[in-house]
Amino acid sequence: MSATNVPTDLLDVSPVIPVVVIDDVEHAVPLARALVRGGIAVIEVTLRTTAALPAIERIAAEVPEILLGAGTVTVPAHATQAASAGARFLVTPGSTRNLLQAAEETGLPVLPGAATASEALALAELGYSSLKFFPAEAAGGIGYLRSLAGPLPNLRFCPTGGVGPANAEGYLALPNVGCVGGSWLTPAAVLAAGDWDAVTALAEDAAALTA
């Protein structure tokens, strides 16, 4: 496995990567546009709903200015499906050899998930240096990630899972954090209501955070 397609710069695109669950494909485009309006030009559409792949297709076609990724890539087939739909990067919550191989075969940048020092080291052996730390809060939070910075100084993380306005700045202050991920910019009730201005406002607050 090579690491030539590892996105060391994916962590530098934005202080926050919005992790979104799209139930209604009609929400995809206005949601992506609302994020861009708020200054967040990246989106991770999770493959947790039947609307996810069609949503990726719509965003790829209609909002090309947003860096579009697919998240919750948990089986090899997801990687190919997401790439075909138009995703430009892939995020996994955890990492297996088969999953990483399928993800790499797409040629897309991959942000692989790790929750422990051993998992992070296994990914480093494969050449990855930018990792998703998931589930961040449940796995040990800011204290855990700070502890990894000493022994693993060459690895950088995007903590996700339980990250929100109350703790994002704390994560972003760590030397081994490039950005954070989270679903707080796109609450289910706000999407259901089609309140795109609320998404833009949440995005503006997130964009003001500094990594």
What is the C-alpha to C-alpha distance for residues 193 and 158, in angstroms, rounded to an integer?
29
Tell me: does residue 159 bind ligand 3PG (CB under 6 A).
Answer: no
Q: Which stretch binds ligand 3PG (CB under 6 A): 6-14, 32-40, 94-102, 155-163?
A: 155-163
CB 69 to ligand 3PG: min, Å: 11
Choose, by CB under 6 A, the member of 89, 134, 171, 196 that binds ligand 3PG: 134
Residue 141 near ligand 3PG by CB under 6 A: no
Residues with catalytic function: 44, 132
**Non-local CB neighbours of 31 within 8 Å, separated by 6+ positions:** 20, 22, 43, 186, 191, 196, 199
| All residues at 6 or more sequence positions from 25 whose CB lies less than 8 Å from its CB, including other chains | 51, 54, 55, 58
Q: CB burial class (10 A; 0-12, 13-18, 19+) of residue 203?
A: buried
Least Å distance, CB 19 to ligand 3PG, is: 4
Residue 112 or 161 with smaller CB distance to ligand 3PG: 161
SS3 81: helix
Residue 161 interacting with ligand 3PG (CB under 6 A): yes
Query: Residues in the site for ligand 3PG, rule: CB under 6 A?
Result: 19, 46, 71-72, 93, 134, 160-163, 181-183
